Amino acid sequence: MEYKDGNYLLSIVWFATLFFLTSCAKNLVRTKTYYISNQTEFDKYSGTEFSAGSTVLFAQGAEFEGQFVVKGSGSAENPNLIAAYNPTNKTILREWTENKPVINGLGKTEAPIYLYNGQYWEINNLEVTNTNGSDEDQGLLKGIYIVAEGKGTVNNLTIKNCYIHDVNGKVGGKLRGGIHVHVLGNKVKTKFNQLLIENNVVRDVGGVGIGNQSSWGAISTETYFPWTEFVIRGNFIERTGRNSIIVRYALNPVVEYNISAESSRFDTGHSIFNFNTVGCIVQYNEAYGNTGNADEIDHGGFDADYNSTGTVIQYNYSHDNNWFCGIMRRGINSDVTIRYNISQNELMGAYLYGFPAERGLKDVKIYNNVHYFGKGKGNRVFVSGGKVRNPIETAFKNNIFYFEDAAEWGFEPESSCVFENNLFYNLPQKGDNGLTANPLFVNPGKVGAHVNMRDPELFDGYRLQGKSPAIDAGTRIQRNGGKDFSGKPLYKKLPDIGAFENE
């Protein structure tokens, strides 16, 4: 078709160009960097609705007071960042550094860093504190507080390389502490997807070091999980008022390579535990120094809590707590696996069965763990915490129970428990195919505190000497995780008893 002039063709080109530019404008993100070096700038930008691609930087070495409220969201293509920067050359500091910018809530605000209904944010390399300096209860204070309410799905949040310390007074409680992420409200189901809390130090806080909470997601009544792709990794939590780490309301969360030191100083609570979860994996963590009165409950390193299924506690190191692990008898609590852990010199014993009057616990598998008690340490397997606590519904296989002093079981397991191919030293034998002998460890009881869990050679003292009666004396376990404490594949020959496979 011919046209007598070029006006029509020119119009087509003009409209096509306009459409292209308009479409690009819709996708164009005007990224902006906010440099905050003094209190005036801090107050000015707090509460800003930050657009996608924003970078909010606090000057290294600067100190600020009050609460910094973070609003707005990034996007998958243009995430947002809060971090430290070098005021000399304006370099962004996204790795751990000393002399971080300090945000001090002075005990006057719920949290110095508060993010509400935002997604695609990274909070990195800040120092946060929040106390009036007294030992008194100052309320539900936190260090970093992330909240989602009536939002649907909140995606991709990271908190890393932060130092949170001195929050509140000498208090316990579960809804306050260092880093907390909460879902609020009851009108719109809301969840976090892709939450990473990594490489932070949390020290001297009232309440829980790292925790989450939700008004949705009880697995006993619904199948909605307010946390998916939830990872807590590589954090050091020291001297908390209550627990170090609590994971709740999550599908397949992972808690790994964390260190818990001296938790639950002002309220009872196991150092690391999960509640209301499906498929929670707790691995490669160290927990120590959770102690208290012998009649108090929940002073162990780990805990498989109730309202959960498919909990796996593996490849961890527990020492110098009242006991190694709690197991809750209240239901729902099923398909619990505790394997290839090393427990050293707990002060009372190995296991505490919680809620002793209840019988909801089902299908617990405890195998290939080492429980070592030196002289003057714990002298029983099952501890009381002030009550009679008989184990139920548990299969104990391929474990080593080693006591330097004469020991006892503490409480008699019910008939629903099974004992097979375990080794007992200075403890009466129980079950089938058991050994009463010295396992001949290489050099036990010498692993220290605050260790690198990525270096299994630090635990070589718990390997078996060549003449150990525990070699090839175990029973095969199906779905065993595929590797021993050191990462060696299972099995080339017959299974060994203990946490290390000899061949």
Residue 211 belongs to a domain with what CATH number? 2.160.20
pLDDT digit string, tens, across residues 146-193:
999 999 999 999 999 999 999 999 999 999 999 999 999 999 999 999
Domain count, the chain: 2
Claim to verify: residue 350 and residue 241 sit in the same structural domain = no
Claim to verify: residue 299 and residue 206 sit in the same structural domain = no
Claim to verify: residue 357 and residue 216 sit in the same structural domain = no
Evaluate whether residue 280 is within a structural domain: no
Kindly indicate the confidence band of residue 30, based on its pLDDT and cuts at 50, 70 and 90.
low
What's the mean pLDDT in 41-63? 98
Evaluate whether residue 304 is within a structural domain: yes
Claim to verify: residue 215 and residue 130 sit in the same structural domain = yes
Instruction: Please tell me the distance from the alpha carbon of residue 166 to that of residue 169, in angstroms, as a whole number.
Output: 8
Evaluate whether residue 18 is within a structural domain: no
Evaluate whether residue 224 is within a structural domain: yes
Evaluate whether residue 274 is within a structural domain: no
pTM, rounded to two decimals: 0.94
Claim to verify: residue 196 and residue 308 sit in the same structural domain = no
Claim to verify: residue 113 and residue 197 sit in the same structural domain = yes
Containing domain of residue 348, as a range? 292-318+331-503
Claim to verify: residue 231 and residue 82 sit in the same structural domain = yes
Evaluate whether residue 24 is within a structural domain: no
Claim to verify: residue 309 and residue 254 sit in the same structural domain = no
Helix H or strand E segment including 309: strand 308-309
pLDDT at position 493, please? 85
pLDDT above 90 covers a percentage of the chain that reads 91
Evaluate whether residue 241 is within a structural domain: yes
Claim to verify: residue 196 and residue 303 sit in the same structural domain = no
pLDDT digit string, tens, across residues 436-463:
999 999 999 999 999 999 999 999 999 9
| CB neighbour burial string for 43-73, b if at least 16 within 10 angstroms, e if fewer | eebbeeebbbbbbbbbbbebebebbbebebb
pLDDT digit string, tens, across residues 326-359:
999 999 999 999 999 999 999 999 999 999 999 9
- What mean pLDDT value characterizes the chain? 94
Evaluate whether residue 256 is within a structural domain: yes
Say which residues have a Cβ less than 8 Å from residue 237's Cβ, sequence separation at least 6: 178, 201, 202, 203, 209, 210, 244, 245, 258, 259, 260, 261, 263
Claim to verify: residue 225 and residue 367 sit in the same structural domain = no
Claim to verify: residue 111 and residue 184 sit in the same structural domain = yes
Claim to verify: residue 378 and residue 472 sit in the same structural domain = yes
